[in-house]
Structure 1
Amino acid sequence: MSAPTSPADLYRHSLRLLLDKNIPGWVGLWAEDSLMEFPFAPDGLPKRLEGKEAIAAYMRHYPDHIDLHDFPAPRIHQTTDPETIVVEMRGVGRVIQTDSPFDMTYIAVVTVQDGRFTSYRDYWNPLALEAGTDFTGRSR
């Protein structure tokens, strides 16, 4: 199966890969010179990842820290730019280290070109972090 090319379809496909814990497949959806940003990241966490390799390194161990169970009812909004979408979603699961619930709300501004993510601004809420852990469950 070829990767979906519309931004909304590609995004939905990416969520499925995350739920399947297929991080290499998820990273494969990114352009080589892509950019991932976390404008609200607290001190000590990256605010900007430049390039597919940096994104891959950041996400490589995600399934070891967060066991994602669902992204219930994501809302994908098309913008006036056909390559850009705005996504409202929730990720639910559990933090593996503490076996506590994981429930994070996100808003993302995502740009896709030639069927690959090129820009992803992730506006997650740092106030939802558990004390002493980052969003992946790793100790800070």
Structure 2
Amino acid sequence: MPAHTSPEELYRHSLCLLLDKDIPAWVGLWAEDGVMEFPFAPPGWPAWLEGREAVAAYMRDYPDRIDLHDFPDLRIHRTERPETIVVEMRGVGSLVGTGAPFDMTYIAVVSVRDGRFTSYRDYWNPLAVHEYGLDFAGSGIR
């Protein structure tokens, strides 16, 4: 079990791993049956990932596309359910292929059980796909 067992601790640790580009360790924070949802996913992008392996496939090439530098404006809100938090943040960095700036606002609803992510609903701006020229086609993501 990870040392970061509260949802807040686990989430903050996960952001450090993303900044370190340690995707295998980030995926290791997931429960085997964890689910990642993208309610605003644009056409052609996944709306639902079920299981740690699906999350790993989705994230595998992330550092080859986006070089994250910071997560400013991080706000973590507790809910009535102790295992669930709501997170507001920005991810800033640059696009690896062009060096262009990247700045995305996120809201996530995250649940944790036994120190692992079990549910992660990621609300990000689908218009950014076109703005940043992001394309996950061919990456094994469905």
Structures share fold, TM-score greater than 0.5: yes
Matches within 5 A, 1:114-125: 114-125=114-125
Using the TM superposition, give the Cα deviation of residue 49 of structure 1 relative to its aligned residue in structure 2, in angstroms.
0.3
Equivalent residue of 1:129, what SS? helix
Report what 2:87 is aligned to.
Answer: 87
Report what 2:38 is aligned to.
Answer: 38
Report what 2:129 is aligned to.
Answer: 129
Distance 2:127 2:92 in 1: 16
Report what 1:105 is aligned to.
Answer: 105
Once superposed, what is the RMSD of the aligned Cα atoms?
Answer: 1.6
Report what 2:63 is aligned to.
Answer: 63
1:74 maps to a residue whose letter is L
Question: TM-score with structure 1 length normalisation?
Answer: 0.92
State the aligned residue count: 137
Question: TM-score with structure 2 length normalisation?
Answer: 0.91
Gaps of 5+ in 2: none
Equivalent residue of 1:123, what SS? strand
Equivalent residue of 2:40, what SS? coil
Using the TM superposition, give the Cα deviation of residue 3 of structure 1 relative to its aligned residue in structure 2, in angstroms.
2.6
2:78 maps to a residue whose letter is Q
Q: Deviating runs (4+, > 6 A) in structure 1? A: none
Question: Conserved in 2, the CA contact under 8 Å of 1:65 and 1:138?
Answer: no
Percent identity at matched positions? 71
Cα distance 1:131–1:76, how it changes in 2: closer, same or farther (>3 A)?
A: closer
1:19 maps to a residue whose letter is L
Distance 1:131 1:14 in 2: 26
Using the TM superposition, give the Cα deviation of residue 132 of structure 1 relative to its aligned residue in structure 2, in angstroms.
7.3
Distance 1:77 1:67 in 2: 26
Using the TM superposition, give the Cα deviation of residue 133 of structure 1 relative to its aligned residue in structure 2, in angstroms.
2.6
Distance 1:66 1:109 in 2: 22
Gaps of 5+ in 1: none
Using the TM superposition, give the Cα deviation of residue 127 of structure 1 relative to its aligned residue in structure 2, in angstroms.
1.7
2:17 maps to a residue whose letter is L
